[in-house]
Amino acid sequence: MRLSLIALLVPDYDEAIAFFTALGFDLIEDTDQGEKRWVVIRPPGGGSDILLARAVDDQAEAIGFQTGGRVGFFLTTTDFAGDAARIRAAGGFFEERPREEPYGTVAVFRDPWGNRWDLIQPAI
């Protein structure tokens, strides 16, 4: 088995597509299903795809808090400064300055909806 897809609640499909494609994610699928769409994006370096799921009704309360306020998503990069600049330009914001850890350079950022992510450049 492998983890192939995770769902991320968002308030609007097109807004989320714009944010993630500005980061370099590929739009893999965008299929209209009537009341909803099946929207799948993929990080530029591969890994698990993300299903952008538009929240409906009570689900909206969970936007930005799917992981209980913890960092729940992790992006690995080989160009920390460049990717951090893309994240900021697309509407994400960093909670902290980059810090050096034994495993590499890392900083926590939030996407436009409040989800917490780590941007990590592994130590060589």
Return phi, psi of residue 34, to 5°: 90, -100
The span from the CA of 87 to the CA of 8, in Å, is: 17
Q: What's the CATH number of domain 70-124, 3.10.180.10, 1.10.1740.10, 3.40.50.300, 3.20.20.70? A: 3.10.180.10
Fold of 1-55: 2,3-Dihydroxybiphenyl 1,2-Dioxygenase; domain 1 (3.10.180)
Percent of the chain that is helix, strand, coil (3-state, to 5):
20, 40, 40
> What pTM was estimated for this model as a whole?
0.93
Residue 50 neighbours by CB distance under 10 Å:
21
Whether the Cβ atoms of residue 24 and residue 44 lie closer than 8 Å to each other: yes
Per-residue pLDDT tens for 41-98?
999 988 899 999 999 999 999 999 999 999 999 999 999 999 999 999 999 999 999 9
